[in-house]
Amino acid sequence: MKFLKAHLFILFIIFWFLIILPYNCCAQANQMIITPDMQFEYAEKLFAEKDYETAMVEYKRFIHFFPDSIIRDQARFKVGVSLFNLNKFNEAAKIFNEIIMEDKENEITKESFFFQSRAFMEMGNTGYAQIVLQNYLKLAKDMETKDRIYFNLAKIHLTQARNGKSDSLSLARNSLTKISRSGADIYNTDQYLDLVGKAEQESKKNPKLAGALAIIPGAGFLYCERYRDAFTTFLLNTGLLYAAYTAFENENKALAGVIGFVETGFYSGNIYGSISSAHKYNRAQTIKILSKEFSIIPGLDLKKNQYGLSFNYCF
């Protein structure tokens, strides 16, 4: 029995030295340690390949495993940019906001302001896009950054002008004129100032005048060069007014009331439509001028029932 135990022990020792020990040693030798640089480089590689979804996961992995790394902020910024490129603008804006709120004076914070503004622009929220840049304008110290802010503000105002917002063209002009001489050469502001000038000089319709003229049914539409609408409005309103008057004269007050109610809607609609037509006319004129220089692509989102114009121009 002792002899058998000794044999078993010897066999175990042999097994240990020949199989288990070399296996463990090999496993240790093959074990790979991922350094922060390796992880970040891999994420950067994916980002360069435009695989933003995977790149974002790898940047997040980097932030999780190496929270004390000096390039952690850069990884967070890249998460935001990846989200931006994936058209997840709301989430991207939140990431950029987190970076901005840390209040560090570096290139990442600076770019975060611009990217957050762009994210709001992409969401169609030109107001917030403007506020972000105006806030950064108060913090910016160097002329180069200020020029860039003014230029981006001009872009926002041009977009607002396209959407029919009043005074946007003059605000765009104001932002462009604030760009320094050196910045003006870089951004070629003269070209854009000429364009704003042309858009301002283009014949416009006064919405207040259109509304005032609409007291005579159809005159507002006539002023806005909508001749068919004007004719229809005139006929409809005069017809309904005459019908209401006749019904009242014939002691049919109930009928007169019903017709009067319908007529009130059409008469108010005539005033509303005239003012609206003047605004639409002005917007169309602005788009016409701006589209001569920039490519404006109409877009349609039937799910949200929204209509928009993609406004692309090289700055």
Partner 1 sequence: MLPRNDKTHKDNNRKSIFFIVLFLFFFFLMPSAWAENVLVKFYQEHISAVDGNRCPMYPSCSVYASRAIEKHGSVLGWVMACDRLVRCGRDEVYQSRPIIIKGRKSVYDPVSANDFWWFEKEKKQ
Contact assessment for residue 281 and residue 203, using Cβ atoms and an 8 Å cutoff: no
Residue 101 binds partner 1 (CB under 8 A): no
Residue 226 binds partner 1 (CB under 8 A): yes
Among 233, 247, 287, 311, binds partner 1 (CB under 8 A): 233
Contact assessment for residue 283 and residue 163, using Cβ atoms and an 8 Å cutoff: yes
Least distance CB 203 / partner 1 (angstroms): 16
Q: Which is nearer to partner 1, 94 or 178 (CB)?
A: 94
Letter string b/e over residues 166-194, b meaning 16 or more CB atoms within 10 A of that residue's CB? eebbebbbebbebbeeebbeebebeebbe
Q: What angle do CA 178, 181, 182 make, to 5 degrees?
A: 120
- Between 150 and 169, how does the x/- string for binding to partner 1 read (CB under 8 A)? -------------xx-----
Among 174, 266, 285, 293, binds partner 1 (CB under 8 A): 266
Among 27, 32, 254, 314, binds partner 1 (CB under 8 A): 254
Residue 222 binds partner 1 (CB under 8 A): no
Q: Which is nearer to partner 1, 148 or 157 (CB)?
A: 157
Q: Which is nearer to partner 1, 59 or 267 (CB)?
A: 267
Burial of 128 (0-12, 13-18, 19+ CB in 10 A): middle
Contact assessment for residue 193 and residue 177, using Cβ atoms and an 8 Å cutoff: yes
Q: Which is nearer to partner 1, 5 or 208 (CB)?
A: 208
Among 79, 149, 176, 236, binds partner 1 (CB under 8 A): 236
Listed ranges 2-10, 25-33, 61-69, 230-238: which one lies at the site for partner 1 (CB under 8 A): 230-238
Residue 258 binds partner 1 (CB under 8 A): yes
- Between 181 and 200, how does the x/- string for binding to partner 1 read (CB under 8 A)? --------------------
Residue 116 binds partner 1 (CB under 8 A): no
Q: How far apart are CA 163 and CA 144, in angstroms?
A: 29
Residue spans of alpha helices (H) in the chain: 2-15, 21-30, 36-48, 52-65, 72-85, 89-101, 107-122, 126-139, 143-162, 168-177, 181-187, 189-201, 207-213, 219-223, 227-249, 253-293
Residue 205 binds partner 1 (CB under 8 A): no
Q: Which is nearer to partner 1, 183 or 207 (CB)?
A: 207
Q: Quick one: which of 80, 98, 156 has its CA closest to 313?
A: 156
Residue 170 binds partner 1 (CB under 8 A): no
Residue 212 binds partner 1 (CB under 8 A): no
Residue 145 CB neighbour total at 10 angstroms: 16
Listed ranges 14-22, 27-35, 107-115, 273-281: which one lies at the site for partner 1 (CB under 8 A): 273-281
Query: Which conformational region is residue 103 in: left (phi greater than 0), alpha (psi within -120 to 50 degrees), or beta?
Result: left
Least distance CB 50 / partner 1 (angstroms): 27
Among 87, 106, 238, 306, binds partner 1 (CB under 8 A): 306
Query: Which conformational region is residue 203 in: left (phi greater than 0), alpha (psi within -120 to 50 degrees), or beta?
Result: beta
Tokens 């020029």 found at? 147
Binding site for partner 1 (CB under 8 A): 90, 93, 123-125, 127-128, 163-164, 207, 221, 226-229, 232-233, 236, 251-255, 257-258, 261, 265-266, 268-270, 272-273, 275-276, 279-280, 283-284, 298, 300, 305-307
